[in-house]
């Protein structure tokens, strides 16, 4: 009997229960809590976070990990220990004083950013950001020394275990070699399209009813989750109680519907992680990129496909046009609306072709910042140069739609951005495999039979949790590790005419 491993399991079970409470309290803070409760809730969550940090960083946890590994030859147990050690090292390598300094600096920067962005106050923002970047560089150095990798790679490991900047350079270099030209070609082709705009009046209750019905179609388990509203849509909670949010614009239904479908992809992954392992790191999601791969599979690969739009079109007509046919909701027009390509300044509003270029721009800049090759004062110029090179747009002095638009850097989340485009690639590779293994999948989807698709995802991705490293997971599921060609083929097939 492996007593040390049993002690680890008991400790991580306790941490999972605390994480459960933290997740629900955080969801409530974003979705339901009255504003007057923010200070008290923040303090309570900070206290809980501190308690969890103490539980995972105690020296005996490291001793248990070493002893448990020495006394085990079972492959799954060894994989479980590997993931426990990953979690333990991630937390224990950081000095408490640096964690506290980062919390204070990022809190100050993020809070001020909310006003400074609106006022385009780069000077004020940059002063706060300098401290956040300095502390992030310290963190990167500490993590790099502990793990023997480059500074930025050590930060990337927090979100994408096993991924390196060298590998990202190859993957993103592939995208940069063809995406800008493809973007312009598609824009030119779509210029001649006759499109009926999606604007109108769509009451929130109608949009919500539509979203709930589509979520049910997509397999969401309402016995273990719910849909609410927040300023920024997200998926939170825990596997047993998934909380997802969306937002509604009564003048345009497009954002809410696809936002709901996107978050449902995240939710389905959470709801279908291996039930017997959920309280352990082994039963958690593999990476942020893999998680994003599920939401983008739902939104981009499935949700915007002609077959799925054909399936949900009657629901759109039912809820948004009182059951009366409307040219806005014709099959042809829905496909044009949901696959419209137009370069813009804002990442979160970007189309499927533009979006990776927004991410590559941020990746290259944040890597340079962390490695000391770019100073904060030079960030706006670097941003504008890359925007012109990749998207043909100049931000000029409008920093609010340039380098001040995202919350990630004020929060100190360096290394996160690549996950978005990795997710798009994972999603494309997954759907390419589904199409190969289920040749008539489009016919089945249009007819409302989505179960074969869900079964493939559940068996090959969701139920695997973190049993395998990411490259092993995709090699087992799709026959090869991540291959950017699948994303390229998807884009060419969907958007290029003739």
- The residues that are catalytic are 263
Would you say 358 and 139 are in contact if contact means Cβ atoms under 8 Å apart? no
Q: Which two tokens stand for residue 423?
A: 């997710």
Which residues lie below 8 Å from residue 398, measured CB to CB, with a gap of 6+? 120, 345
3-state secondary structure the chain: CCHHHHHHHHHHHHHHHHHHHHHHHHHHHHHCCCHHHHHHHHHHHHHHHHHHHHHHHCHHHHHHHHHHHHCCCCHHHHHHHHHHHHHHHHHHCCCHHHHHHHHHHHHHHHHHHHHHHHHCCHHHHHHHHHHHHHHHHHHHHHHHHHHCCCHHHHHHCCCCCCCCHHHHHHHHHHHHHHHHHHHHHHHHHHCCCCCCCCECCCCHHHHHHHHHHHHHHCCCCHHHEEEEECCCCCEEEECCEEEEEECCECCECHHHHHHHHHHHHHHHHHHCCCHHHCCCHHHCCCCHHHHHHHHHHHHHHHHCCHHHHHHHHHHHHHHHCCCCCCHHHCHHHHHHHHCCCCCCCCHHHCCCCCHHHHHHHHHHHHHHHHCCCCCHHHHHHHHHHHHHHHHCCCCCCCHHHCCCCCCHHHHCCCCCCHHHHHHHHHHHHHHHHHHHHCCCHHHHHHCCCCHHHHHHHHHHCHHHCCCCCHHHHHHHHHCCCCCCHHHHHHHHHHHCCC
Q: Which of 422, 386, 408 lies closest to 136 in space, CA to CA? A: 408
| Distances from the Cα of 397 to the Cα of 130, 146, 279, 380, angstroms | 19, 40, 48, 8
Positive or negative, the CA dihedral 327, 187, 430, 293 is: negative
């Amino acid at each position: 009997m492996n007593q040390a491993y049993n002690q680890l399991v008991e400790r991580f079970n306790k941490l999972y229960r605390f994480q459960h409470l933290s997740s629900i309290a955080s969801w409530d803070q974003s979705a339901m809590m009255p504003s007057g409760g923010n200070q008290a809730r923040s303090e309570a969550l900070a206290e809980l976070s501190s308690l969890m940090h103490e539980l995972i960083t105690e020296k005996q946890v490291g001793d248990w990990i070493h002893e448990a590994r020495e006394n085990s030859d079972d492959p799954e147990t060894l994989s479980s220990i590997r993931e426990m050690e990953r979690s333990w090292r991630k937390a224990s390598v950081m000095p408490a004083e640096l964690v506290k300094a980062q919390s204070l600096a990022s809190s100050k920067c993020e809070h001020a950013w909310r006003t400074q962005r609106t006022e385009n106050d780069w000077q004020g923002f940059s002063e706060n950001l300098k401290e956040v970047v300095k502390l992030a560089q310290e963190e990167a150095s500490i993590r790099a020394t502990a793990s023997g990798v480059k500074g930025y790679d050590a930060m990337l490991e927090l979100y994408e275990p096993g991924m390196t900047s060298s590998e990202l350079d190859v993957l993103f270099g592939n995208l940069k070699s063809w995406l800008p030209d493809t973007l312009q070609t598609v824009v030119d082709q779509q210029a001649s399209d006759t499109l009926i705009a999606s604007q109108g009046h769509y009451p929130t209750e109608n949009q919500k009813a539509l979203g709930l019905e589509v979520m049910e179609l997509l397999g969401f388990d309402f016995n273990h989750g719910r849909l609410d509203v927040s300023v920024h849509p997200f998926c939170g909670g825990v596997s047993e109680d998934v909380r997802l949010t969306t937002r509604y614009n009564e003048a345009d239904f497009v954002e809410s519907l696809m936002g709901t479908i996107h978050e449902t992809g995240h939710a389905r992954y959470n709801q279908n992680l291996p039930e017997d392992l959920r309280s352990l790191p082994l039963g958690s999601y593999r990476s942020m990129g893999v998680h994003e791969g599920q939401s983008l599979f739902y939104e981009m690969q499935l949700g915007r496909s002609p077959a799925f739009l054909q399936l949900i079109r009657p629901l759109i007509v039912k809820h948004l046009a009182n059951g009366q046919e409307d040219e806005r909701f014709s099959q042809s027009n829905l496909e044009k609306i949901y696959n419209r390509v137009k370069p813009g300044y804002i990442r979160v509003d970007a189309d499927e072709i533009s979006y990776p270029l927004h991410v590559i721009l941020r990746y290259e800049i944040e890597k340079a910042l962390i490695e000391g090759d770019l100073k904060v004062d030079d960030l706006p110029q670097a941003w504008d140069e890359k925007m012109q090179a990749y998207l043909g747009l100049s931000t000029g002095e409008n920093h609010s739609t340039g380098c001040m638009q995202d919350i990630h850097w004020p929060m100190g989340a360096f290394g996160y951005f690549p996950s978005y485009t990795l997710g798009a690639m994972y999603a494309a590779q997954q759907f390419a495999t589904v199409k190969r293994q289920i040749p008539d999948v489009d016919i089945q989807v249009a007819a409302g039979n989505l179960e074969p698709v869900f079964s493939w995802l559940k068996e090959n991705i969701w139920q695997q949790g973190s049993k395998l490293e990411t490259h092993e997971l995709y090699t087992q599921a799709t026959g090869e590790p991540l291959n950017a060609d699948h994303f390229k083929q998807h884009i060419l097939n969907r958007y290029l005419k003739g």
